[in-house]
A = this chain, B = another copy of it.
Amino acid sequence: MSKTRVVILGATGYTALELIRLLLRHPKVEIVGVTSREDKRLVSQVHPSLSGLLDIPLEYLSADEIVSRCDCVFSCLPHTASAKAIPELLACGVKAIDFSADYRLDSPEKFQFWYSEPHPDPDRLGNVVYGLPELFRQKIIETNLAANPGCYPTSAILPLAPLVKSNLIEPFDIIIDSKSGVSGRGRSAKLDSLYCECNESISAYSVGVHRHTPEIEQIISNVAGKQTTVIFTPHLTPMNRGILTTTYSTPKIQGLTKQNIIELLRIFYANEPFIKIVDHYPATKDVAGTNYVHITAAVVGNRIITISVIDNMIKGASGAAVQNFNLMFNYPETTALI
């Protein structure tokens, strides 16, 4: 049977590398193009771990060339660049999975507020499927454009969704304290991302103003069926990959135990291949290099605490993209992911 031909837009970064690694294992995928605006080297020169595995050149492809070549694009372009490139491809029948934030928020105004730029494809907002299969699987199956979730949102939404869905917690008193590895910063040469700036150090950043905040609030509100707000504090942690998110929320009813919460989570995600509800406190290394999410919970004083871990590059980015791809192209959902 023929393979699905894919092109990766913006293939010089870390998420693209992880995506390529996963797709090379996918028996039904053929990578037919990798793009870069400026870099013309072999993709294996940009990512030496691909030496001998994918030695095709980076190209700067027109929309026509992309359309003529493939069935699906994975866009690892930066925000606004993605929403400039994708509409034309969709119009020609190419499906798209977008890693950027362009299609995650549900209104151009919200986008403009948080990203300080007008949205290049405003009419589509409000109708794009959020590519978190555990919550929106059927819609993903039916879509031709999935907005791949942000890494922090994935780590925060998954533990909180069962709590808000069951109306168990107060909607305006949710604290999310996240700790992310450095790969979340991307692969651009910035002072803040230097080894000696990040190593042997942890710091908070974008406290209360991180762009993943509206994304988390939007999806949690959507699941809750009512307006919900969060306080979100990201921390930069000295490790390549992984996010651990600790959430603190206030139960609406008294007397809940750790086991109550764990049971609720277990039932909610009973059939999910990538979600494991565990009794112990998970570490990011438990899911490193995988598409799995490990979640546990505790009750302390008047608070429910959840702790979740993901690999920000896999379930937080490229693994989720492949999971969405599998759903959109009717392959078994776990293909190339276990």
Contact = CB atoms under 8 A, between A and B. Distances in A.
A199 B284 CA distance: 10
Query: Shortest 3 CB-CB distances between A and B: which pairs?
Result: A208-B300, A201-B285, A203-B283
A154 B235 CA distance: 20
Contacts of A172: 302
A194 B196 contact: no
Interface stretch (A91-99, A106-114, A138-146, A184-192): A184-192
A338 interface: yes
Interface in A208-261: 208, 229, 231, 233, 235, 237-242, 244, 246, 248
What number of copies of this chain does the assembly contain?
Answer: 4
A290 interface: yes
Describe A's contact surface by its main secondary structure. Answer: mixed
Interface in A269-326: 276, 278, 280-290, 292, 294, 298-303, 305, 307, 309
A294 B51 contact: yes
A255 to B, nearest CB: 16
Contacts of A198: 195
A175 B284 contact: no
A286 B244 contact: no
B187 A194 contact: yes
